[in-house]
Structure formats: structure tokens, C-alpha cells
Structure 1
Amino acid sequence: MAGRRTERIDEWRERVDELCYDGERVEHRLDLECATVVVTTQRVLAFVPTTAGPAFRHVDRPNVGTVTLETSQRLAVLCAGIIAAFAGVATLEMATSITVSSAVPSVDLEGIAPLPGSNLLVGFVETVLAAIETGLLLLQWSVLLAGVAALVAAIGLITYYIRSRTRLLVVRVSGDDDLVVPVSGVDLEDELVVDLEAAIRPAPESTPALEAEDGRRTSSRNWTEIDHEESG
């Protein structure tokens, strides 16, 4: 279904003239990798088949505001990555700063050597101390592994944040949802936004009609001056 939907929109992208009203004509066309934006004499048409919303939208040109290139970011993922990085560094610092041998209590067993049953007691104490040392060593390694895991998670989150950033062409619409068009790296050009916004804005007032009006005013002034000279 999605493939047929995309194909149908692609067909309409190639036949924009059939969507124009009577007297409406295409003035500017912007073909992107995943979308097409068309500016006519009356409206702005957007074909975006890859988004979850409508694949086609149109907006009257007077309702269009600014046109900008923006970046969609997931700051929560970045914050989680930074927190994981700090936690990993702190955990590794704590694990490497503790020496297991210094944490195991030392017991002087030389004084009890002459006592009866001292060998059994010495063996028991040594076993207990060895068990404590092994437990602390395992704890140290666990903390080290936790620190490494936190750093790996931080790298993964930051990488995901960088890759999930999306460049968007945003056309602000007054009184309705903005037109949001995904932009790929191939589409990024310095004049992309400038050309599109210039095409949407009203044409400069230096039109032939205004020039003709200025000519009629100049001619009228000249005839008035001639009349004054003749009457004088």
C-alpha cells in the first residue's frame, strides 16, 4: 500500500499543471530527494509522500510566513548520553582508585601460634581473609564492568542522537500547521531557502503596468506644461 501511495504521488508531482485552478500557473518548482514544493501564482503546493501526514498539501500564498532550514533534535537522548558518560567515568575512577589488598584487614597471627589448636584457627582466619579479598576483587571487577557498560551506553546514545538529527525545510503557515519537508544532504544548498521564499513573496512593484502608469503620469504632466505655456 505504501509503495502504491508513493507512486501515485510521484505521478501527481509530474502533472502539477492539472492541479492548478483556472488562470493559475506554476512560477517556481523545488524538487528535493524526498519531496517537491511548487509555487504557483496563488498557492504553495507540497508533495511529501514519505511523511505520516497528508502526502499533498496546499496553502494560499498570503498565509505563508517565513521559510527556514531547521534541525529536529531529541535532546532527551543527548542528555541521557551525557549522564551515562559522567556515570561511567566516575565509576571507573572509583574502581581504579581502590586497592583490594589495602581494603582487606590485616591480622597478626604470630602471637597465637603456641596455643593449642592454633593451626586450625590460623587456617580459618586465612580462609576468611581470602574470601573477603576474593569478594572485594569481584566487587571491583563488577564496578569496572559497570563503568565500561555505562561508557558504551553513552557512546551508543550520543551516536543515535547524531544520526537521528533530521534537517527539515519548514514553511510557516498562518492559522494552520506548518509545511514540514525532510531535507537530505544532497538537497542542502545555500540559495535553496532564499529562492523559495523569494518565489513565495509578492513580485517587486517594478512591473510593466506600473511603468506604463508612470509613463501616463509623465505624459500628463508634459501636456499640462504645454497647455500652461500656450495659455501664457
Structure 2
Amino acid sequence: MRILVTNDDGIDAEGISALAKELEKEHEVIVAAPSEQRSASGHSITIQRPLLVKEVKIPGVKSKAYSVSGTPADCVRVALDKLTDGKVDMVVSGINYGVNLGTDVLYSGTVSAAIEAALYNLPSIAVSQHIGSEYYDFNVAAKYAAKIVKIAHKNDLEGKTVLNVNIPGVPEDEIKGIKTTKVGAKSYTNHYVPLRQEDGGVIYELRDELIDIHHEDNDTFYLNDGYVTISPLQYDLTNFNLINEVTKWF
């Protein structure tokens, strides 16, 4: 396959290097990633300034790689238009430094890059690694990513579907297996702390704390139980349960 690899942690991130190295063993890989850290950039695109695209070398990676002075979604768009002639079989985004579980998928640049591919009707996979006090290994995550890529391709993953993959932060021999599960609930306490007065206003810094909601049978639950989780996502936001009811209102 011809695979476009991207991320939101930037072209120099350890995760994208491990992913590209593993995938290029069996596939043709092209890397296009932000020139700097763009975590939590969501699905934003750059429209008010030009993008700088530079060919770069990722140590240990044989495949061609490009840095893009934009967002993860920008990377997918410019790569499909200018760097690959649109000839891509799958887009794989990651490996993200930190999980993308529950409602995190709404903010994640990693997931949004994969969703951007889905808008082009391309199969896509977003891969994230649990980071914390626990053990983690991007090389292990890359192995699981390559395995999931192979299985998804074999089973004709639809172009409008994104597989959101999260790898637990445990040694490889402690990973219990793979669970396909729904997206769970996750919330944060958002506190904006005033830092100083500046230019007639106040500078605030976000300091949030995670509120994990561990319902059974969702991505957060199974990841914490030691499983690699896969959640199929779609970008159609229409609430079909309410569309007829709202039609009656008007």
C-alpha cells in the first residue's frame, strides 16, 4: 500500500518516527507533519497565511518526509494535493504522545488529521500512546499500528470511517489483546488562572484536571484494563433520531 503518515506532535516527534519506520517495512510511506507541536488543534485549517512545505530527513527513516507550517489537517490536504498526486491508499496519524479517548477526539489534531482523510474518502487510522507514570514504548505501539493497518486493509476499511486506536502504557507482554469498543465519556475541570496584567487586559493560563468516567464497555475502561482499544468513528454529525421531530417544529 501507499500510506500517508502524519501527526499533531510535529515532524520531529518520537512517535511519528517509530510509526514510519515500522510501516515502511511493508509499505510505501510518505510523511507530512506539522513543523512544530500542534496538539489539541482540532480540525482547524490555515486560511489567512501561506504554508511553508519543506522536505526534511527523519533520522532512521528511509521514506520521504515533509514539514508543513500548518495544522494536522493542513498536512493531509497539502500532501494529497501536492506531495502524493492524491495517490494514497490509507492515512495513518500518530503515534500521538498521550491517549485520545472519549471526548478528547473532538479536540485532537491526531484524530482530526484522520478525519480529514475520511473527507477525501480515504481509509484512515489515528494511533495514540498512553503516557504517564506507566511504562510505554512507541516501538510496541508501532507494531500494533502496523498489525491494525494490515487487518483493516484486508477487510476493506471504508473511506468514510476512522479507526481511533489507543495503546496502553504497559510492557508488551502485559497487553491483554485488542478490544473494539465505543467512545466513552471524559471530562475536565477547566480553570483559567490569571497570570498578569498586560496590554490593558489579563493573561490567563488554562490549568485543567481530568475527570475520568470509567463506565464499562468503552475505550477508557478497556485501555485502563490493559487492552489496545479501537473505536470506529464517523464524521456525519446529523442527529437522525431528531431530524423528523425538528422538522415538525418548523
| TM-score (norm: length of structure 1) | 0.23
More strand by share: 2
More helix by share: 1
Higher relative CO (CA 8 A, sep ≥ 6), structure 1 or 2?
1
Q: Find the structure with the greater CA-based Rg.
A: 1
